[in-house]
Amino acid sequence: MGSQRKPFLEFLEQSIVLFDGGIGTELYRRGVFVNRCFDELSLSSPELVRQVHMAYADVGADVLETNTFGANRVKLTKYGFGEQTTAINFESARIAREAAGDSLYVAGAVGPLGIRIEPWGPTSITEAEEFFREQAEALVRGGANLFVLETFSDLNEIAAAIRAARSVSDVPIIASMTIEDDGNSLEGTAPEVFAAKLDAWGADVVGVNCSVGPAAMLTAVERMAEATRRKISAMPNAGRPRNIDGRNLYLCSPEYVASYARRFIQAGARVVGGCCGTTPDHIRAIRRAIRTMQPAVRRTVITVPSPGPGRAVEEVRRADKSGLARALVAGRFVVCVEVLPPKGCDASEVLEGVRYVSEQEVDAILIPERPSASARMTPQALAQLLMKQGGIESIVEYGCRERNLPGMQSDLLGAWVLGIRNLLLITGDPAPAGQYPGANGVFEVDAIGLTNMVHRLNRAIDIGGNAIGAPTAFHIGVRAKPGASDLDREISRFEWKVDAGAEYAVTQPVFDVGLLEQFSRRIAHVKVPLIASIVPLASFRDAEFLNNEIPGVVVPEGVLERMRRAESEGHPQQEGIAIARELLGSLRGLVEGALVSVPHGRYASAIEVLDGLVERRAAAPPRALES
């Protein structure tokens, strides 16, 4: 471009705009360890960052992106640099401005927060906007001529980023989603849909970047061009990364990437550049490729209906979802038994135990997630075996640990097809070391976000806002903690779970009826059935463990003393069963059902707790419910 910098949108009308390449991977290529906070290098190694900018400027880039893709307070706090958010963004923009001089543009780079926001996570949209606003303000003060909001997968989050950027400045906004090989966003939203959304939300340029190489991105550009009159940007990776001798390398040649830049432009793109793995050599090749090209004539824009909330179908009536749901809607006191999945692949002993307890007219068998880092069968598999064994109804506990949101969606669609109807959705606890010290959790979302996702599936909508055809009809349950140390927060989270679509709740083990009474009063307004967990204590040691090492479980001193005395007298199991029976009798008017655990595989203990309950089910009316 010429020596005098025009307003960016004016330049965009007249020319194809070339962005720089992958700043992060270029810093990595120059020896920066991958575990470093790359954004903070603008403070500790400004000359290195400036050299990267200059390398892209020297090969013909029109726009230099700031070294701030991860420079929001959320991500920086993980590295201990949260309080330097403003300084990092300001200095990054200043360094890029210095390298750009008077002729090039500086784009303030803003990436996702790295956390899930509502409806998938506990961070509100308002909080997300504040994080983005803090970053955007510093970038503009440092000299950014425009914003590039890039590598987003969640439409809610990029919408918050657009609003935040607009509230700070009227500089142009490029809003870019990241996609899979099929052209859809990582959450499954089609390019036609997210292009139209970004257009409607006021982005000046809508685009795609990162995650995939040029070939997959071309199809997305072609589909976007049919859905928006906005200018389109395309910035692919230099292919998929390959691990070679311990380093992640991108192997697409500059010539290959440049050949696709031509195709992007022919398909309607006006902004091209590179993302991860694109070096100054790639940008030089793209510059050569586009010098003689004229922008393509854009095809007629067609209207693409957005499969958003308006396309949701009516949910299946709750009473029709499962036998458990039907019993709860009818106001009958339900009885469930919790049975651990077996270790290994032999379920014969567990199946025999379930047959035994089912003779007591149990409404459902709760199958919890893997309780420790050991090789246990999945709850879904055991539920399948129970269905084959006489159609025994189950409640499958399903949590967020070790799973991302798209993966959980696929799991649950499969569970529905296989006949699973009752779910108990949990966030899950951090993985204990167990026999696998390297095991880690994922926790991309929590139980609130998971409940939102399942509720959408029940309305025939996936996480990307796409219609899925026939809806699921899961009966959605969640956990509740009457003994939570911060009861106000627990109540708030419980209300959010109900707002997200929860239809019943199962408590943590209850030993203190007073705590359950308090909790029951506090949640009376939400009108969902509450099922109380009862654990027949097998020993004083079990009681101590639950009281001291399981958050939210409170074992009163009186119960501890009874178990201590019974231990010394040689009958702790009998005393644990007696305590459980007393609890079961005391909570009948407070809850709509009971879940009895099988302690240490002793199914007879659960039967003794339930003995006689079947005849007494109608003795006490449940809380008034709205079905």
Tell me the DSSP string of 124-162. -HHHHHHHHHHHHHHHHHHT-SEEEEEEE--HHHHHHHH
pLDDT, tens digit, 9 for 90 and up, residues 466-498? 889 999 999 999 999 999 989 999 999 999 999
Residue 15 burial (CB count, 10 A):
14
- For residue 185, the 8-state DSSP code is B
Q: What is the pTM of this model?
A: 0.77
- Give residue limits of the domains in the chain: 8-290, 322-535+592-600+610-616
Tell me the DSSP string of 613-626. HHHHTTSSPPPP--
Q: Helix H segments across 225-279?
A: 254-267
CATH of domain 322-535+592-600+610-616: 3.20.20.220
Residue 614 burial (CB count, 10 A):
12
Tell me, yes or no, if the two domains 8-290 and 322-535+592-600+610-616 fold the same way.
Answer: yes
pLDDT at 372: 53
Q: How far apart are CA 225 and CA 236, in angstroms?
A: 17
In words, the CATH class of domain 8-290 is alpha beta
Q: Left, alpha or beta for 179 (phi > 0: left; psi -120 to 50: alpha)?
A: beta
pLDDT, tens digit, 9 for 90 and up, residues 414-444? 999 999 999 999 988 654 433 333 333 455 7
- Contacts for 166 with CB less than 8 Å, ≥ 6 apart: 173, 202
Mean pLDDT of the chain: 88
| 3-class DSSP state of 366 | strand
pLDDT at 300: 42
Q: How far apart are CA 136 and CA 152, in angstroms?
A: 16
Q: Do 207 and 225 touch, CB atoms closer than 8 A?
A: no
Position with higher pLDDT, 5 vs 277: 277
Cis preceding-peptide flag for 119 (omega within 30 of 0): yes
Q: How far apart are CA 428 and CA 401, in angstroms?
A: 6
- Among 81-95, 239-253, 325-339, 533-547, where is mean pLDDT lowest? 239-253
Q: How far apart are CA 92 and CA 68, in angstroms?
A: 7
pLDDT, tens digit, 9 for 90 and up, residues 44-90? 999 999 999 999 999 999 999 999 999 999 999 999 999 999 999 99
Backbone φ, ψ for residue 194 (5° rounding)? -70, -30
pLDDT, tens digit, 9 for 90 and up, residues 387-410? 988 788 999 999 987 788 888 999
pLDDT at 21: 95
User: Cα dist. 369→324, 374, 419 in Å?
Assistant: 20, 11, 18
